[in-house]
Structure 1
């Protein structure tokens, strides 16, 4: 009865473990990784960041409406005042001010200036000051232009750089998604190889135990030596040790894939060897054209070139500074709000600021030379990176076109090695080969199977 209960418990545990086992194909693993892996989420958030940075740049090209106000500005203090006779005295200030301003600002990307149209109102109440009256001052409309003359046009350079940067981010997102696929393939085949190795280890242990039992019987009949028997016993112990090690390797590979896919620890994944698809032979020039169109490398090259040119333009623009500021409009000043917009007076303000270095010991010129030298360095690096990029694509195309044949050869070698091992086991049973030949056949079988799974990994990768 006790043995029966233990047997039922064992069957229940096995059945429970089997129910938690789920077969997961390579395509399903890739889909899970793209949907819920941490790497996929990071890639998506990086694309969102780039999108909002691009939206911010686009917003700089559009008119911006701003409202500013001080509600209220109350002051009770003493201010130093100089009379007409030159004497000083402190004057009490007890006032309430309220100001409001609405402006429409537009960056001028063609010239790098800024144009603003504004309207404002200011109210001042002296608050208990004898003989003082409160006033309203209005600016119904005012137009202001601020324009740097020789400085670098930042908006113009942004119009060149930011679209390229956003295209680079979009291409980088696609590349990151494919990187998630590559990681999934690597983890999946690590688990698949661990599963195959565990199966090999289990088969080897069963065969080693069976061969050792037969060898014990043959030793009693004097057909083999004591040395051969001990060697077979060591082989059985080694097979048992290898089985334990491969079980741990399987658990580790399953944990890595499960963690990457965002699955729970209760999910036991059973990988399957994917069906082989017949892919066409590809041409280097076609692949290179596609890579330059879709890979972020091409946009990265263009962006870094533009940024190097931008740095030179900034250094040259900082050699001298001339800024133009002009403001025109109308204003009114009355004691009543409704009359503050009557009897308007015009106003004009024109300012030209100049800052030209007379003696800077070549500092600004040096900055220009540094920027130009950096641009030359970047150009040389980009040229080398372009050559390396093309070479990498060429090698990938060659490996891709040869991998199908490599996989076919590895599969055929795996079948032959397995048949040789089975034949060697049968030959050893009847005493036609020794233990060295049997161990060699087993090692060849194990290596051929691992080589086949490895070549399949490279094929899909």
Structure 2
């Protein structure tokens, strides 16, 4: 074999390794950057739609809570109630007789009511009009009864005030919902990161497998010529053939991995169109410093779990107050004052109305309950103590998680820089090793080792990128803070 022919084969063998790691996209493929995938996940993925609907549900719940403390105007009535039957009637002498009744009645009532949340009472102003048509009388008689205005107050005394506690807890629940929605958006971004890099790793694995098949095929052809020239033993030729066969099998498996991970990413993003996807690796890494104390302070300021701690403690206090308020002495006051009149004509039913007053005080005192009160109050107190202990333990774990993750984030950023440098070194070492193997200065074993190290370094670099971005979005989720812009995370659609 002359030197010119060897030089040509040498150039052909080196040519595939002059290409970049990312192969040219297919003509029908759509390019997706990392940022585009994250944006799609936050705008159209099934998980986003679920989170958006859940948050909307909590918004309506909060509006329902707010409406409980606003005046409520209601109009009710019966138009009409017709009655023709035989009814029992008590006579003046005390005997019971049955009489025929034939009448129709109609009524209309307008009421304006308002919760009194500091005391748990309810006050309302009512206006009512009734009409009765008596068809049983000799002459058809119609009568009207009016209540132009009545003020009614219902007030529990020494009881459990549900509205006062609801006013403390419901705003916390809504604030939890807003912060939980923000955390969910970052969790969606984190999950999208996993699917993105799973597909990217499989695509790069496929590109590596393609290059390995092309190079192993070239090396095998060179080995055949060397074997024919008597420059290498048959064992080395067989080893090259085996390496080529293995690389072809690896290419088939890599193609299957690309197809599977493409489908998973499309399902997660809610993409229904059938087209190939080519991913663009994120080359720009955000540069910012994260201090453990700052991250911890922002997490305490922004996270949903901190509000959850307050709510859990308040709910434990509420259950304690309810246990005491519903088992001891309780009383209820009902009072109403208004005007009323009755007449044969509508206009006369509002002339010179008479006063009407009603007052009722009811009470309940447990005399003997065989320890039921003590058991209910004791259970509530034990639960209150348990909640306080659990919240305290969760606070400790909360702080530890933030602190350790910031440390891990810093380590992963350093590891990513090291993995990138290792990838560059492994690629360069492979090129040198291959050149020396073609010159006959190194064995096939050395070439195989350099190939494995190059492939491993390429995958390790992409894995390091994956771990960094997962840690990045985990940090945002744990603190609800954007360290690049130095501002809390706010989602416009949550308002």
TM-score with structure 1 setting the length:
0.93
State the match for 2:65 in structure 1.
Answer: 57
Cα pair 1:112 1:154 within 8 Å, conserved: yes
Distance 1:93 1:232 in 2: 111
What does residue range 35-434 of structure 1 map to in structure 2 within 5 Å?
Answer: 35-130=43-138, 133-320=141-328, 321-434=330-443
What does residue range 432-447 of structure 1 map to in structure 2 within 5 Å?
Answer: 432-447=441-456
The residue matched to 1:339 in structure 2 has which SS? helix
Distance 2:92 2:105 in 1: 27
Distance 2:166 2:264 in 1: 43
Cα pair 1:116 1:145 within 8 Å, conserved: yes
How far off is 1:225 after superposition? Answer: 3.1
> 1:453 and 2:439 equivalent?
no
State the match for 2:491 in structure 1.
Answer: none
Tell me how large the CA RMSD over aligned residues is. Answer: 1.6
Distance 2:261 2:396 in 1: 37
State the match for 1:6 in structure 2.
Answer: none
Distance 1:278 1:162 in 2: 39
Cα pair 2:101 2:136 within 8 Å, conserved: no
Structure 1 spans left out of the alignment, 5+ residues: 1-16
How far off is 1:428 after superposition? Answer: 2.6
Moved >6 Å (runs of 4+): none
Distance 1:33 1:88 in 2: 78
Structure 2 spans left out of the alignment, 5+ residues: 1-24, 471-495
TM-score with structure 2 setting the length:
0.87
Instruction: Summarize deviations over 1:276-323 as a string: whole Å, max 9, x none.
Output: 234222111111111122211111111111111111111111113311
Cα pair 2:78 2:107 within 8 Å, conserved: yes
How far off is 1:402 after superposition? Answer: 2.4
- Larger mean CA deviation between 233-242 and 219-228 belongs to 219-228
Distance 1:88 1:38 in 2: 71
- Larger mean CA deviation between 226-235 and 73-82 belongs to 226-235
CA 1:451–1:18: 2 relative to 1, 3 Å: closer
State the match for 1:3 in structure 2.
Answer: none
Cα pair 2:335 2:359 within 8 Å, conserved: yes
How far off is 1:238 after superposition? Answer: 0.9
How far off is 1:88 after superposition? Answer: 2.8
How far off is 1:132 after superposition? Answer: 7.4
Distance 2:273 2:230 in 1: 53
Cα pair 1:60 1:107 within 8 Å, conserved: yes
Distance 2:210 2:306 in 1: 51
Cα pair 1:20 1:266 within 8 Å, conserved: no
How far off is 1:430 after superposition? Answer: 3.1
Distance 2:286 2:52 in 1: 32
Distance 1:155 1:135 in 2: 42
How far off is 1:427 after superposition? Answer: 2.6
Distance 1:367 1:28 in 2: 56
The residue matched to 1:91 in structure 2 has which SS? strand
How far off is 1:84 after superposition? Answer: 3.5
State the match for 1:12 in structure 2.
Answer: none
